[in-house]
Amino acid sequence: MSYDHLVKSLQKQLEDFQSDVKEEAIGEIIEVGDGIAKVSGLSDVKSSEMLEFENKVGEKVYGVVLNLEEFSIGAIILGEYTSLREGDKVKRTKRILEVPVGEAVVGRVVNPLGQPIDGKGEIKSNQFYPVEKIAPGVITRQSVFQPLETGIKVIDAIIPIGKGQRELIIGDRQTGKTALAIDAIINQAGKDVICIYIAIGQKESKVARIVAKLEESGAMEYTTVVSAGASQSAALSYIAPYAGCSMGEYFMDKGKDVLVVYDDLSKHAVAYRQISLLLKRPPGREAYPGDVFYVHSRLLERAAKMSEELGGGSLTALPIIETQAGDISAYIPTNVISITDGQIFLETDLFYKGIRPALSTGLSVSRVGSAAQKKAMKKVAGKLKLDLAQYRELEAFAQFGSDLDDATRQQLDRGARVTEILKQGQFNPISQGKQIAIIYAAANGHLDKVLVTSLAAFEQKLFSKMESEGKDILDNIEKTGELVEKDEQKLKNIINDLVELEVKVGEDKK
């Protein structure tokens, strides 16, 4: 490169440089610490506006205004705050906090500001959505009517989830809450559903494990992971679910279906409590601030099934709440239970009994999902819930003695079998057709002769037989969602053949 060329290119660059001198609004940090800053000046700043903090070295950090007071404003700092000092400059940006959205974020792991943390390079998106958005109103919605298949037998059969529904997953630590949500994400493969997994205050190792699992099963292709790690500031944990929700809303507005998992909202409430107390907002019950209900309700209201005129997109929310010692009547669990359209309650006792997913059928409900269930599933699963309820009642009796009458014994046997077939391994989602086949067999008493211990093996045999001989039944269910008379008869024959074989093998062994 010649000297002349260098000078020319420099000249060219300098040509369009304008020394713009303009009036700027600035404030000063009065107090800073724990991710919170008190700022003087900036008298015309708006609530939840983005601020630009500049430290002595000239590095910039962003913040968000939360408190507007008489002589100062309170802001949360999104990022490294240890380099900020009292007296540092604060500038207005006149922008509300926003995150990049669009196809570019799909398949990526990002922080709550939409910056990549997976080392796969910059996210090139020219579209941004504000983090806080008002939920869709009444006339823009329609009621939930399509199923969101989780691939988990017990959920799809007993507490179905519809597209646009908010279904809470609640339970103690180590009961498989996250596993359930991850299974639901994995099952969306090929179903044209965009998934967003938001890890709030989770261990980085856990997030890494989940991302690896999603990549392994190919689910990362349609999934975005938003992670605010446990080591990052509470401010990031606080905005993470809103940021993730905005990324989902973009696709909902485009008419697509979205599944958002908030893992978990109890940690989100704790982060918000920390911020509120540091901002000197008065504490209420369990030291949570007065607006902790609104924090969750405005987030979960953003889940919706949009009307056909607006594209018919949907955003399904699966918030997760961790309870302490099974206490679902604590403050945050009751709040979120009352906001959502039902809950999936996971119990430690069931988990250690080997019933996994450890779903408590008595305490779990889905308030709108049954409208969304496939007709075929509704037909076969109708009896299931009753069978299980009666079984639970009788189970206690059965502990005492063997002299039970036939009807009771039969009910107990049926219940034990239904419970057994509803067990399911992790990362092993099952298609609706196959689910219907096995549930049909159990609910109609076809399995009563098969030993409980050999049911798992029987299930595998049934599934492989369905794939060969019963392919058309599976296809029909997938296409029409119904189990017609002809198919039902055929299914019954397949099951009976298998049962006979199973019984014979059992007798031979004896």
Partner 1 sequence: MKKNDVKILASALYEASKDKKGKELDKVIGNFSAYLSQHHLVAMIPAILVELENIHFLKEGIVKAYITSSLELDKTEIKNIVDIVKRKIKQEVVAKTETDESIIGGAVVKYKDKIIDMSIRHQLNNLAKQLSN
Q: Report which secondary-structure segment, H or E, holds 230.
A: none
Shortest distance, position 341 Cβ to partner 1, whole Å: 47
Residue range at the interface with partner 1 (CB under 8 A); choices 41-49, 174-182, 261-269, 276-284: 41-49
Q: Whats the size of the chain, residue-wise?
A: 510
Among 7, 8, 33, 43, binds partner 1 (CB under 8 A): 43
Q: Report which secondary-structure segment, H or E, holds 349.
A: helix 348-353
Q: Is 177 exposed, middle or buried (0-12, 13-18, 19+ CB in 10 A)?
A: buried
Shortest distance, position 115 Cβ to partner 1, whole Å: 19
Shortest distance, position 110 Cβ to partner 1, whole Å: 24
Q: Is 21 a residue that touches partner 1 (CB under 8 A)?
A: yes
Least Cα distance to 448 among 488, 417, 470, 409 occurs for: 417
Residue range at the interface with partner 1 (CB under 8 A); choices 10-18, 148-156, 323-331, 499-507: 10-18
- Is residue 386 helix, strand or coil? helix
Residue range at the interface with partner 1 (CB under 8 A); choices 17-25, 166-174, 338-346, 399-407: 17-25
Among 6, 7, 8, 25, binds partner 1 (CB under 8 A): 25
Q: Which is nearer to partner 1, 57 or 134 (CB)?
A: 57
Has 273 been annotated as catalytic? no
C-alpha 213/C-alpha 182 separation (Å) is 9
Q: Report which secondary-structure segment, H or E, holds 322.
A: strand 314-322
Q: Is 23 a residue that touches partner 1 (CB under 8 A)?
A: yes
Q: Which is nearer to partner 1, 43 or 143 (CB)?
A: 43
Q: Is 41 a residue that touches partner 1 (CB under 8 A)?
A: yes
C-alpha 475/C-alpha 478 separation (Å) is 5
C-alpha 250/C-alpha 87 separation (Å) is 39
Q: Is 24 a residue that touches partner 1 (CB under 8 A)?
A: yes
Give the angle subtended at the CA of 21 by the CAs of 18 and 25, to the nearest 5°: 135
Q: Which is nearer to partner 1, 22 or 510 (CB)?
A: 22
Shortest distance, position 284 Cβ to partner 1, whole Å: 23
Shortest distance, position 97 Cβ to partner 1, whole Å: 21
- Is residue 306 helix, strand or coil? strand
Residue range at the interface with partner 1 (CB under 8 A); choices 14-22, 262-270, 313-321, 470-478: 14-22
In the chain, what is the straight-line distance between the N-terminal and C-terminal CA atoms, in Å?
91
Q: Which is nearer to partner 1, 122 or 508 (CB)?
A: 122
Among 29, 36, 42, 66, binds partner 1 (CB under 8 A): 42
C-alpha 222/C-alpha 449 separation (Å) is 43
Q: Residue 410 has which token pair?
A: 């039969």
CA atoms 226, 227, 228, 232: torsion sign: negative
Q: Is 441 exposed, middle or buried (0-12, 13-18, 19+ CB in 10 A)?
A: buried
Among 17, 121, 325, 407, binds partner 1 (CB under 8 A): 17
Provide the 10 A C-beta neighbour count for residue 3: 7
Among 1, 5, 11, 22, binds partner 1 (CB under 8 A): 22
Residue range at the interface with partner 1 (CB under 8 A); choices 20-28, 203-211, 225-233, 451-459: 20-28
Shortest distance, position 463 Cβ to partner 1, whole Å: 59
Least Cα distance to 395 among 418, 371, 375 occurs for: 418
Q: Enumerate residues 45-64 that contact partner 1 by CB under 8 A.
A: 58
The rounded Cα 21 to chain-centroid distance in angstroms is: 48
The values of phi and psi at residue 147, to 5°, are -80, 145
Of these residues, 95, 281, 298, 367, which one is catalytic?
367
CA atoms 461, 463, 465, 468: torsion sign: negative
Q: Which is nearer to partner 1, 53 or 250 (CB)?
A: 53
Beta bridge mates, 41 = 27
Shortest distance, position 38 Cβ to partner 1, whole Å: 14
Residue range at the interface with partner 1 (CB under 8 A); choices 18-26, 337-345, 392-400, 469-477: 18-26
Q: Is 275 a residue that touches partner 1 (CB under 8 A)?
A: no
**In the block, which residue shows the tokens 């949907």?**
314
Q: Is 208 a residue that touches partner 1 (CB under 8 A)?
A: no
C-alpha 253/C-alpha 145 separation (Å) is 18
Q: Is 13 a residue that touches partner 1 (CB under 8 A)?
A: yes
CA-to-CA dists, residue 266 to 77, 306, 407, angstroms: 21, 28, 45
Among 6, 7, 26, 503, binds partner 1 (CB under 8 A): 26
Q: Is 19 a residue that touches partner 1 (CB under 8 A)?
A: yes
Shortest distance, position 71 Cβ to partner 1, whole Å: 9
Residue 333 and residue 323 in contact, taking contact as beta carbons nearer than 8 Å: yes
Shortest distance, position 16 Cβ to partner 1, whole Å: 8
Which residues belong to the active site?
367
Query: Would you tell me which residues interact with partner 1 (CB under 8 A)?
Result: 13-14, 17, 19-27, 40-43, 58
